Amino acid sequence: MAAVIDLPFALPAAPKNYAPAQASSSSVSLTSVEVSPVGDAFLSYMRRRLRQSTFEEDDALVKQRLDEHVAANTQVDELDNDIGEEPESQELLDSDPMQWKSLDHYAVLGLSSRRYKATDYEIKIAHRKKVLKHHPDKKVSATGVSDDAFFKCVAKSFEILSNPEKRRQFDSVDEGVDDDNVPTGKESPERFYELWAPVFEREARFSKQTPVPSLGTKDSTKEEVDDFYNFFYNFDSWRSFEYLDSEVNEGSDNRDEKRYTEKKNRNERARRKKEDNARLRNLVDKALSLDPRIKAFRAAERAAREAKKNKGRPGVPGAKGAAEVAAEEQRKKEEAEKAAKEQAEKEQAEKVERDAAKKVREAAKKNLKKEKKTIRNIITGANYFQPEGTTPSASVLDKQLTALDALCASLEPEQVLSLREACEKSTAEAKAALHKACEEKSLGDAFA
């Protein structure tokens, strides 16, 4: 709506010689100018475009990075220079943050030599160093490539190791600690304390009760030795196996499948806990049978019984005094030392062979888990080989997934690889291959 204003005065008339201005007919010449995309605004625009994010999401990302810079703004020279300074292999740097459960979180932070012994302070310092070294902005300025994959691994590892509950779950299954590395029993008795003390120190990390009694020395009293073995025979462990749980497919609407996965996880945790308790008991049994102090205590008890039995009956045939018992123990000791010396080279060779076999087992286990997951996804994607549009029953889910577990456990890694390749061809060939493999291993007709 137009506004009309009455002026308090009258405008004068235009001059008689007034003429409107003529338009200029002269043309403007154009020049070519090179424009380069630079500046923070352009970088923000490209970052939003590459990440497909909104202005609010981009601002939040910038703020997060600034906060991380502030948190990590500590001079490295002021920190402990020996913390988190381990060599980084290319395999480690190529780690996928999406596969965070398979990460060695201590190795990511450069603490693989410390592991469960690492303090909260060491974890914090190691994280700061890794942030300074692998921050995405620093990589972009140095290489021109935006790659924050390993930086995300660092963040995830710090998240787990800085959380007491999550760290306990990871420590419970940390493959960097070899629980199977125990003495063979063929070593010299003099090395018993040297070899077995680290074993029980390693097991003590899972104890709910503190302090944990130590193995002791050859001069430990019978009461101290008995208390030590009683403690480990009644060991109260916090070790758990939730970290190895199969992930529940949150995107699936099939409640039966979710319940099956949760039930299977509970059963697997209970099975692993039972196996670990049996492993510890066998370990304590083995140490007890090899402990030279136990042998000495028993020899002294036998000698005392013999002395009491033959008291006042000198010269009784077959009676053994303390001196004879001690001489017999010394003879056995010398024989054991001789056998241990003869077996030294053999033990070293066995250790090398065990280490090599362990590496092979770990690699095969890692690949087997990956192949098994792929086959399971194929089965799930095929609706458990049920007619399209129908929902598989809980019994079908349980039958097929249980059969798959048993099948992968009974096949060699190369056979599982071949099975996965056959399953990827088509749904029909997948069903046929699984059915054939189950028949060959007598595992029922889950895929008939």
Reported as a pLDDT band with limits 50, 70 and 90, residue 315 is low
Whether residue 159 is found in the same domain as residue 202: no
Q: What is the pLDDT of residue 64?
A: 83
For residue 406, give its domain range.
346-380+393-440
- Check residue 78 and give its pLDDT: 47
Sign of CA dihedral 106, 107, 110, 115: positive
Q: Is the pLDDT of residue 331 over 70?
A: yes
Predicted confidence (pLDDT) per residue in 103-116, tens digit: 999 999 999 999 99
- The Cα–Cα gap between 448 and 436 comes to 9
| Mean pLDDT value across residues 72-97 | 72
In a domain, 114, yes or no: yes
Q: What ranges make up the beta strands (E) of 84-197?
A: none
CA distances from 125 to 78, 118, 122, 155, 219 (A): 10, 11, 5, 13, 41
Same structural domain, 350 and 430: yes
Mean per-residue pLDDT over the chain, rounded: 82
Q: Out of 172, 207, 234, pick the residue that ends a domain.
A: 172
Side chain identity at residue 346, one-letter code: K
In a domain, 108, yes or no: yes
Query: How far is CA 370 from its chain centroid?
Result: 15
What pLDDT score does 314 carry? 55
pTM above 0.75, yes or no: no
pLDDT at 337 over 80: no
pLDDT value at 74 more than 60? no
Is 116 domain-assigned?
A: yes
Q: Name the pLDDT band for 383 (thresholds 50, 70, 90).
A: confident
The larger pLDDT score, comparing residue 442 to residue 100, is at 100
Residue 39 lies in a domain: no
pLDDT beyond 70 at 24:
no
Q: Is the pLDDT of residue 75 over 50?
A: no
Q: Does residue 194 share a domain with residue 162?
A: no
Is 27 domain-assigned? no
243 and 272 assigned to the same domain: yes
C-alpha dihedral (356, 357, 361, 363), degrees to nearest 10: 20
Which of these ranges, 62-76, 112-126, 183-197, has the smallest mean pLDDT? 62-76
CA angle 237–203–209, rounded 5-degree value? 45
Average pLDDT over residues 155-180: 92
Of 390, 359, 179, 166, give the one whose Cα is nearest residue 280.
179
168 with 193, same domain: the answer is no
Residues 383, 257: Cα–Cα separation, whole Å: 11
Clarify whether residues 79 and 165 are in a common domain.
yes
Residue 352 has pLDDT above 60, yes or no: yes
- Pair 135, 200 in one domain: no
Statement to judge: residues 358 and 424 lie in one domain: yes
pLDDT of 312 above 60: no
Domain at 159, CATH number: 1.10.287.110
CA distance 245 to 316: 67
* CA 139 – CA 39 distance, rounded (Å): 19
pLDDT band at 204 (very low <50, low <70, confident <90, very high): very high
Q: How confident is the model at residue 261 (pLDDT cuts 50, 70, 90)?
A: confident
Residue type, 377: N
Instruction: Note whether residue 351 is domain-resident.
Output: yes
Q: Is 304 part of a structural domain of the chain?
A: no
What pLDDT sits at residue 77? 45
User: CB neighbours (10 Å) of residue 177?
Assistant: 13
Confidence at 415, pLDDT banded by 50, 70, 90? confident
The answer as to whether 320 is a domain residue is no
User: What is the pLDDT confidence band of residue 441, given thresholds at 50, 70 and 90?
Assistant: confident
Confidence at residue 212, expressed as pLDDT on a 0 to 100 scale? 93
Q: CB of 179 within 8 A of CB of 336? A: no
